[in-house]
A = this chain, B = another copy of it.
Amino acid sequence: MKLVCQKKDLIEGINIAMKAVSAKTTMSILECILIDANEGVIKFTSNNMELGIETIVDGEIIESGSIAIDAKLFSEIIRKLPDNEVKINATDENKALIECENAKFNILTKSVEDFTYMPEIEKNNKITISEYSLKEVIRQTIFAVNEAEKNKILTGELFEVNGNQLKVVALDKFRIAIRNIELKEEYGNFKVLIPGKSLNEISKILAGGMEDDVNIYFTDNHVLFEFGVTKVVSRLIEATNYFDSDKMISNDYSTKISINKNELANCIDRATLLIKEGDKKPVFFTIKDTEMDLSINTFIGSMDESIPISKEGSDMMISFNPKFIIDIMRVLDNETVDIYFTNPKAPCYIKDENSYIYIVLPVVQ
C-alpha cells in the first residue's frame, strides 16, 4: 500500500476514527485504525466491538493495499508532522514508512487479518434528520444517562419513531429527559435503546449543520448512522423492559412559574459552592408571588438569593438536588423556562409543550 495525503485530511479522518478506538484493552488490534485503499478510496475503519466507524479520507492511492496501525501512535505522529503532504508506504507485511518533508518514521504495524470489520446493516427501517437536530437532542438528554449504571437500561437512550415523530428518552432513578422532534416524512413505528456512550461519541463527530442530513437505520441489534463520508454502527441495548414514559407524565399542577434560565442556573451554581463532594444537601425553593427564594445551609455556611418570577397558582416550598436542576438549565436554549409543581413530594415538570419534558423528583425531608 502506498498513499499520498495532506496532513489536514489525515487528521480529519483520524479524529473521526479515534472515537471507536479502545483506550484500555488487552487486544492490541482494537487499538488500531485499519487503513484500507483497495476499492479506489482511502477508508479508515475502527471498531471497539460496541461502536464501529468507517470514514473516507481524501488522498491519492499509488498502490492498493491495507494496513492496521496503532491509532494513538499514528495520530501523534501525523499531528507533529509539518503541515504538508504525507506519504504512507507499507514497505512489507508488518512495517509502514511515514514520510513528510525531511522526516521519516518507520513504524511496526499489526496483522490486517486480525481486524474485525463493521457488521453489514440491513437498510429497512430508516429515518432522516439534520445533523443539527441529532446533535441537539443528544446534548439535551445525555446528561440523564449514567454510563456506569449496573442496570443496562439506564445506560442508554430510547429512540422511538412513530410516523413523523421521533421521541428520545433518557432517565436515571430521579429524573427523566424527553425530547420530541417532528420529522419531515412519515416513517414506520419502531424503537431502539442506543448506548449513551455511542451517542456521546457520535455527537462529537457530527459537525451539526442544519442543512446536512443524517440517515439512521434501525435493526434488531444495531443502529447505523450515515452522514457525509462517515458511517457509524452501534450495538443496541435490549429494550423490552423499558419504562413507558407516557405513564409518568401528568398535566396536573398547582403552581406554575416562569423564570429566567440563566439566573436560576447561576444562582444554583453559587449555592453548590457550599456543598462538599459526596455531601447530599438539597437547595430549597420558596415560591412566592413575584419571586422565588433559593437557600442552602451546610456546615461550610449558608446562602440565600431571590430571583424574580411570574407565578400562577399557590405558594410552595420544595427542595431539590441542585445538580438535577442545573443539568437541565445548562442544555435548554430558551431564555425563560416554565416549571410546574404539584406538591413538595411530587416531581416537578420543566416543559415546553411540543419540544421537551424534564421530570425531576424532589428531595423529601
Contact = CB atoms under 8 A, between A and B. Distances in A.
Interface residues of A, number: 27
A16 B307 CA distance: 33
B301 A105 contact: yes
Interface in A296-332: 300-307
A23 interface: no
Interface stretch (A1-9, A75-83, A133-141, A180-188): A75-83
A82 to B, nearest CB: 8
A18 to B, nearest CB: 16
A267 interface: yes
A306 to B, nearest CB: 5
Contacts of A307: 102
Contact of A269 (B80, B106, B303): B80
B273 A106 contact: no
Nearest to A295: B104
A107 interface: yes
A64 to B, nearest CB: 24
Interface in A253-308: 266-267, 269-270, 273-274, 300-307
A62 interface: no
Number of copies: 2
A73 interface: yes
A148 interface: no
A108 interface: yes
A77 B303 CA distance: 10
Interface string A72-112: 01001100111000000000000000000011111110000
B266 A80 contact: yes
B300 A77 contact: no
A73 to B, nearest CB: 7
Contact of A305 (B76, B103, B270, B304): B103
Contacts of A81: 270
Nearest to A109: B301
Given A73-B300, A300-B73, A273 B80 contact: yes
Contacts of A73: 273, 300-301
A34 to B, nearest CB: 19
B106 A303 contact: yes
A68 to B, nearest CB: 15
Given A102-B306, A305-B102, A307-B102, A76 B273 contact: yes
27 contacts: A73-B273, A73-B300, A73-B301, A76-B273, A77-B270, A80-B266, A80-B269, A80-B270, A80-B273, A81-B270, A82-B266, A102-B305, A103-B267, A103-B270, A103-B303, A103-B305, A104-B303, A104-B304, A104-B305, A105-B301, A105-B302, A106-B301, A106-B302, A106-B303, A107-B300, A107-B301, A108-B301
Given A73-B301, A107-B301, 14 more contacts: A80-B266, A80-B269, A102-B307, A103-B267, A103-B270, A103-B303, A103-B304, A104-B304, A105-B274, A105-B301, A105-B303, A106-B301, A107-B300, A108-B300
